[in-house]
Structure 1
Amino acid sequence: MQLAHAGKAEGYIIAPDPALARLTRAVDGHDAHGAPVVTQVVEERPLTIFLNGQEIVTAMTIGDYPDYLALGFLRNQGMLAHDEAVTGIDYDEELETVVVRTDRPTNHEEKLKKKTRTSGCAVGTVFGDMMEGLEGVQMPQVPVRVSWLYTLAHVINRTPSLYLEAGAIHGTVLCHEDRPLVYMEDVGRHNAVDKVAGWMAATGTGPEDKILYTTGRLTSEMVIKTALMGIPVLVSRSGFTAWGVEIAQSVGLTLIGRMRGERFTCLSGNANLVRDTAKAEAADGA
């Protein structure tokens, strides 16, 4: 398996590397007063994912971590079982393809017929039977200290990133308690989540005690993917959709949004929050 470049931000296993030249491009423009400016813009390029000999999907992506993106996408779409042995991942930068190989034949022709266009940026696509994978799913009820959330928001929002460098991008961060571990970015938030899922699969990292932090909206797609990954807590600085909230409540996922500084809204799993800061205790008793 090809292992891609890892960022250097302190404390992270993987973090964004905004200095990577191929991820952004300098473009000449003009500011509001007509003065010339040079602006960094995010690159996006197609990546076609194959499972063995079958073409599955072409995703628009910034092009980093193609191995993790492909592996995570296939896992999150239910095309790769958790016990399925991956024998190799081959990435061809020139052909813009990545091939995931398994030790037994696969055929997902029927699944490929059932596609649902999502609300994800860069026109996300999921397969229509993803909801079926939630049948009987109940997330572990894990205590979450509010102080962890405040620390995570503080650290993540100050981490050097493509978002701070060029904007037009989403981030997803896998966290344990108050420590961010793996920070992935992409033009679509679904891609960033899939990269995290791919890293977890490749490294054998368990989900049961993790928190997933995203900069994007808490939509049904985000909630479904988080639940299928087995991560019990989903946090965002953005807002919610009604269906996303309903799904989170039905599977027992702790769902926290509108995270700004030391403020947030919890719409599912409030009983799991441990309000261990003075501000949080005051708010809880108000």
Structure 2
Amino acid sequence: MTPAPAMLRPPARILPDPHAPGLTREVEGFDETGAPRATRVIEERPLTLWLNGREIVTVMTIGDHPECLAVGYLANQGMLRPDDVITAVEHDDDLEVVVVRTARETDYEDKLARRTRTSGCAVGTVFGDMMEGLDGLVLPELEVRTSDLYALSKAINQMPSLYLEAGAIHGTVLCRGAEPLVYMEDVGRHNAVDKIAGWLRLRGEDASDKLIYTTGRLTSEMVIKCALIGAPALASRSGFTAWGVEIARQVGLTLVGRLRGRRFLCLSGEARLLRDADPAGVADEPRRSGRKGGRGAEA
């Protein structure tokens, strides 16, 4: 994979900045007793993605890292080929537009006509032929240490984030071993993983030695996008869908869900788990839900 020109490359490490301007705002309301109460809520805005001279889609997003979101979305939809040279990524905040330009001339009218709505929130879409990218795909084998899973779960859920600041948001984290490298958040879990894909593409990074952690459900689209990125392992606090499990087994993806405290469930790739931590020595996680008190079951 050819990295983008240096001027287009995002930082080597990205972690949440819950106090960045424009991501949240304070809203006045009333609590259950009728007392006035102020709370911070997530900003949500449209962003229209263009590829060269054609409008592709409008997504609802929090507005950070728009270049990563645009490039990752186009790559995951098969509109950016692995050998495509990205010549420019232009973001106009006032017009709420990102234009990705490539050396290759592109025309995706037929593909645009085959869009299919998925179960994902925040206008997540997948094209009817997206599964074609999985044909013959077998992911590289990656040994996943349970000690790393436990360490990641604890670190990510205690890390300052927009979720802990205002709730109503999903997170996706690119990790190497027990180290979070890139932590993206958005109103839709598919946007968050697209940002990860865009970061990888713009940096020219390889995902074969990395795990993706998501706060959302392990659906078919999340599994597909993880596989297309080339990451061989996917973990979540939340649960699974049957099709997501089937696809993970098809491509050799290690799939771990319901990761809370000492507990987790692996439904694909058990042979690649190295159980190097005794669950009895890991503190269990009390049942908690809601903002400021831990991530909910389907955060």
The amino acid that maps onto 2:79 is M
Question: Which residue of structure 2 aligns with residue 150 of structure 1?
Answer: 150
CA-CA distance at 1:280 after TM superposition: 7.2
Please name the residue that 1:117 is paired with: 117
Gaps of 5+ in 1: 7-11
Aligned to 2:103: 103
Q: What does residue 76 of structure 2 align with?
A: 76
- 1:13 is aligned to 13
What do the CA deviations read for 1:208-234 (whole angstroms, capped 9, x no partner)? 100000000000000000011110000
Judge conservation of contact 1:275–1:281 (CA < 8 Å) in 2.
no
Alignment-derived partner of residue 237 in structure 1: 237
CA distance in 2, matches of 1:89, 1:174: 22
2:119 is paired with a residue of what secondary structure? coil
Give, in whole Å, the separation in 2 of the partners of 1:280 and 1:49.
48
Query: Which aligned segments of 4 or more residues in structure 1 are displaced greater than 3 angstroms?
Result: 1-4
Q: State the match for 1:140 in structure 2.
A: 140
Q: CA RMSD in A?
A: 1.5
Q: CA deviation at 1:3?
A: 6.3
Q: How big is the shift at 1:278? A: 1.9
* Residue aligning to 1:30: 30
Paired residues of 1:115 and 1:125 also in contact (CA < 8 A): yes
Q: Which residue of 2 aligns with 1:63?
A: 63
> For the Cα contact (< 8 Å) 2:9–2:202, is it kept in 1?
no
Report if the CA contact (8 A) 1:3-1:65 is conserved.
Answer: no
Say yes or no: does 1:253 pair with 2:242. Answer: no
Distance 1:281 1:153, change over 3 A: closer
- Could you tell me which runs of 5 or more consecutive residues in structure 2 were left unpaired when the two chains were aligned: 1-6, 283-299
**Structure 1 residues 168-214: Cα deviation after superposition (integer angstroms, max 9, x where no partner):** 00000000011000000000000000001100111111011000000
**1:255 alignment partner, SS class:** strand
How far apart are residue 279 of structure 1 and its match? 2.0
2:22 aligned counterpart, secondary structure: helix
Inter-partner Cα distance in structure 2 for 1:280 and 1:111: 51
Aligned to 1:89: 89
Code of the residue aligned with 2:136 in structure 1: it is G
With normalisation by structure 2, the TM-score equals 0.90
How far is 1:140 from its partner? Answer: 1.4
In 1, distance between residues paired with 2:144 and 2:103? 39
Aligned partner of 1:232: which letter? P
Q: What whole-Å deviation, never above 9, does each CA across 1:35-64 have from its counterpart, x for those lacking one? A: 100010000000000000000000000000
Structure-1 separation of matches of 2:8 and 2:105: 22
Alignment-mate amino acid for residue 114 of structure 2: K
How far apart are the structure 1 equivalents of 2:104 and 2:8?
Answer: 21
**Distance (Å, rounded) in 1 between the aligned partners of 2:187 and 2:16:** 13
Give the SS at the match of 1:247: helix
Equivalence for 2:216: 216
Q: Provide the secondary structure at the position in 2 that maps to 1:50.
A: strand
SS at match of 1:174: strand
Check the 8 A contact 2:8/2:202 in 1, yes or no.
no
Q: Partners of 1:55 and 1:126 in 2: how far apart? A: 16
Could you tell me which residue of structure 2 aligns to residue 159 of structure 1?
159
Letter in 1 for 2:159: T
Letter in structure 2 aligned against 1:218: L
SS in 1 for 2:104: coil
Deviation at 1:262? 1.6
In the TM superposition, residue 2 of structure 1 has moved relative to its aligned partner by 5.4
Counterpart contact for 2:219–2:243, Cα < 8 Å: yes
| Residue 227 of structure 2 is aligned to residue 227 of structure 1 | yes
Separation of aligned partners in 1, 2:275 and 2:8: 42
Aligned-partner SS, 1:227: helix
Work out whether residues 2 and 91 of structure 1, in 8 Å CA contact, stay in contact via their aligned partners in 2. Answer: no
Q: 2:295 maps to which residue?
A: none
Per-residue CA deviations over 1:131-169 (Å, capped at 9, x if unaligned) read 111110111121111000000001100110000000000
SS at match of 1:21: coil
1:9 paired residue number = none
Residues 149 and 178 in structure 2, CA contact (< 8 A), matched pair in contact too: yes
% identity of equivalent residues: 64
Question: Counterpart amino acid of 1:244?
Answer: G
TM norm structure 1: 0.94
Number of positions where the alignment pairs a residue of Structure 1 with one of Structure 2: 276
